[in-house]
Structure 1
Amino acid sequence: MSEKHKDDVTGVETTGHSWDGIRELNNPLPKWWVYTFYVCILWSFAYWVVMPTWPYLTGDGWTYTKGVIGYEQRNVVTNELAAIAEGRSGAMERIATMPLDEIATDPALMEVALGAGKAAFGDNCAPCHGSGAQGSTGFPNLNDDDWIWGGTLDDIHTTLQHGIRWDADDETRLNMMMAYGRDGILDRAEISDAAEYVLLLSNQAHDGEAAVRGAEVFASQCVACHGEAGTGNRELGAPNLTDAIWLYGGDRAAIVETVSNGRSGVMPAWGTRLDEGTIRSLTLFVHSLGGGEKQ
Structure 2
Amino acid sequence: MGWLSDSINLFGLIAAIVILILTIYVAGTLVKKMRDSKAEGELTDHQWDGIAEFKNNLPVGWAVSFLVLIIWGFWYLFLGYPLQSYSQIGDYNRQVDAHNKKFEEKWKNLSKDDLINMGQGIFLVQCSECHGINAEGMNGKAQNLTKWGKEEGIIYTVEHGSTGLGYDGGEMPVLGLSQEDAKAVAAYIMADISDVKNTKYPDDVAKGKKVFETAGCTGCHGPDGKGMPGMANFAPDLSKYGTVDFVKRVLEHGKKGHIGQMPSFAYRNFNDTQIQAITDYIESLSSN
Which TM-score applies when normalising by structure 2?
0.29
Larger relative contact order, structure 1 or 2 (CA cutoff 8 Å, min sep 6): 1
- Between Structure 1 and Structure 2, whose CA radius of gyration is higher? 1
Which TM-score applies when normalising by structure 1?
0.29
